[in-house]
Chain A
């Protein structure tokens, strides 16, 4: 069927690209009740190109009628020389599908995490394992396909005694290796619930704080992800500029090849072979692009197309790695921020943010604090990074250590 769709488009005089996904997922969610799900999904997204115009259509069922639907969208498209079909690219396949039984692994992690019921008020335990086949085929000879498997676990917990309710601790971990230990996650939940049971207001001025790897993933990643997009830079929607001096000790790069990350892939959403892209090394080195925005901005293509079958490709980092040359020294009593709230209310185009930190404590005695508001902007945040903790941790799609930051406003 896939070949038929491509041939039909070609016979009508179009270049065409079909993106397809087949996914199986097994998940268990425990709240007051158990809820388990077995998902079988497939989907197809077709792009057609001709005369500098692009059309798109998708369906959850493979059908030749996708071609007519995509052509109807093509008629609306504005002519632009950047509307071109991606060409074949060399792909080095990564081992992204360790063999395991989805159900067995999901239940194993549920059982392990149930230990938490003995020590904290568990709101949710969620465990999920998936297997997907992702591929692209186009009229220019491109045909890539790979299997990807992954596992993720989430725990939400707090302390609850009448109306004295502590903030919700949300801990999560995703990985590809089914032998991964989640004991560290369990210990973190217990320690953080304990630290935030009785919080006090901050006394005095805070001029430096530490973001844990989780807080980096929650605060820095969304802002940076928007800022390093070539589309946003080209359209004046990024606070970063090419060559802008950022931080003498800072390096940030996008690495789609980290094998245990569920965000890694051998090729991007347009079938282009994955590569590591440096975005910041003391200064802004480059922006991430897909095929359209590389051509449009006459800049380098970075194979950073991101998509589902439901949409045309956008741009997004795979795994952002954040490094600083100076190591964080222990001894000082820093405010440690572990969880932030309200990042989506930021002004992503300017990088300005104002977030609350419901889960935060002072490093010396892990004493929880409340009513913390952190305000600033992305550029000042990056410039203010002074050191990095010894241990790097992968949280979602960010690999970083604890970051010591000065210059943000904490109230």
Chain B
């Protein structure tokens, strides 16, 4: 056992665990006016947690010894009611293998980014291009007083492109971001597809119309459905929020049609499923959490505490952004299961509505309300896709919206994101099929 844990037990802790994080981070930015490295270094530190007299105490530090055990124990205050799930001892190592490992020097990567920027700048209307590449190499170790020793290594990389264009007095702003644990993003992903997507979005923003606000039949694309599953439903099913929100009293009850199922999973076989979490930051093996199964609320995502509180098998959803932060219940890869429809069939069913492709993040509240922006969308009239839209937002109430889903497609995809909660940001995957649903659409004036 790690010596700090032995010391914690000697000091009277009934349980203790230690997280060690070492992250090598590099980020490179190429824009129309600058090329530089804004991030380059190593973050390294420990988080020691003790359960002492029924209370949690944390000590997070860069360097230190046994005095940090005292610091953690001294900080263990509260109502002495913390009860957790204990696990058997285990030793394991997980090293995620890259499909396209980075073989280029940082100078060569800079050259690739410059080529991408130059290609986008060829359009005279484009005034600003920002291309950011990042690569974070994680080495995480977990030790617990139960005798668990888990090592995990993986590398997370991404490419993020933002373009500003002007035509007459109209300004367009388009964005695309792709992240992966499978290696160098400009080899994992198709660069030409990145360029054509950005160009299409710029064109749409310049030519698009503002939708009339109201409730419409819409077809939401996998990227939007993934964000809906994450923002509108997933957060409500995180046990710490669920027990203060609308889902707790709905467990075991139907809240969606039978063809709707939503899960959170520690891994998915998709390039952008970056919420990969074989073991969480409490050393718990990840398992699929069936949030909604065939329309019925099934279970919640938990940490060790909420597993004990709810009497539910541990799920492996406790995650921390870094050694500085305590673990919180977080999603990993949240997705809606595919169905039987084809996209074309769904569009044909819509008389007056919208096809919405790409979200701009989102937000939710325990009362079940959600809101998120859309950066690429089209009007649908009599079953045909018409002109593009300028920035659009959708909002509503999760329960109403789930009940309004009338079709789910066979097509399915997963997109990456970074989820914020309690001041911490963690990588997540969000996925789903196309769905047909009635939802409130708001135009940006």
Contact = CB atoms under 8 A, between A and B. Distances in A.
B60 A39 contact: yes
A344 B40 contact: no
B348 interface: no
A32 B365 contact: no
Given A33-B305, A165-B367, A167-B365, A349 B45 contact: no
Interface in B339-396: 359-369, 371-373, 391-393, 395
Given A77-B35, A165-B366, A168-B365, A70 B40 contact: yes
A37 B367 CA distance: 29
Interface stretch (B74-82, B94-102, B150-158, B405-413): B74-82
Nearest to A28: B77
A237 B128 contact: yes
B40 A163 contact: no
Contacts of A32: 240, 243, 305-306, 309
Contacts of A271: none
Interface residues of A, number: 82
B326 A37 contact: yes
A80 interface: yes
A342 B62 contact: no
Nearest to B127: A236
Given A36-B56, A344-B363, A345-B362, A354 B391 contact: yes
Contact of B75 (A26, A31, A61, A167): A26
Contact of B36 (A26, A39, A312): A312
A236 to B, nearest CB: 4
Interface stretch (B4-12, B191-199, B245-253, B259-267): B245-253
A358 B60 contact: no
A236 B166 contact: yes
A78 B36 contact: yes
Contacts of B42: 58-60
Contacts of A77: 35-37
B371 A341 contact: yes
B31 interface: yes
Contact of B443 (A103, A168, A239, A375): A375
B41 A310 contact: yes
A35 B444 contact: no
A77 B366 CA distance: 46
Interface stretch (A49-57, A206-214, A279-287): A49-57
Contacts of B138: none
A373 interface: yes
Contacts of A34: 55-56, 77-79, 82
Nearest to A36: B75
B107 A344 contact: no
A80 to B, nearest CB: 7
A394 to B, nearest CB: 20
A56 B40 contact: yes
B44 A60 contact: yes
Interface in B294-338: 305-306, 309, 324, 326
Contact of B33 (A38, A72, A296, A356): A296
List of 5 A-B pairs having minimum Cβ-Cβ separation, nearest first: A34-B78, A345-B373, A58-B41, A354-B393, A78-B35
Interface of B: 25, 28, 31-45, 55-64, 68, 71-72, 74-79, 81-82, 106-107, 110, 127-128, 164, 166, 171, 173, 213, 240-241, 243-246, 249-250, 305-306, 309, 324, 326, 359-369, 371-373, 391-393, 395, 422, 440, 442-445
9 contacts: A34-B79, A36-B78, A61-B62, A61-B63, A345-B393, A358-B365, A371-B440, A376-B445, A409-B213
Interface of A: 26, 28-43, 45, 54-61, 66, 69-70, 72-73, 75-78, 80, 103, 107, 121, 123, 158, 160, 162-163, 165-168, 234-237, 239, 296, 310-312, 341-342, 344-350, 352-356, 358, 370-371, 373, 375-377, 380, 408-409, 411
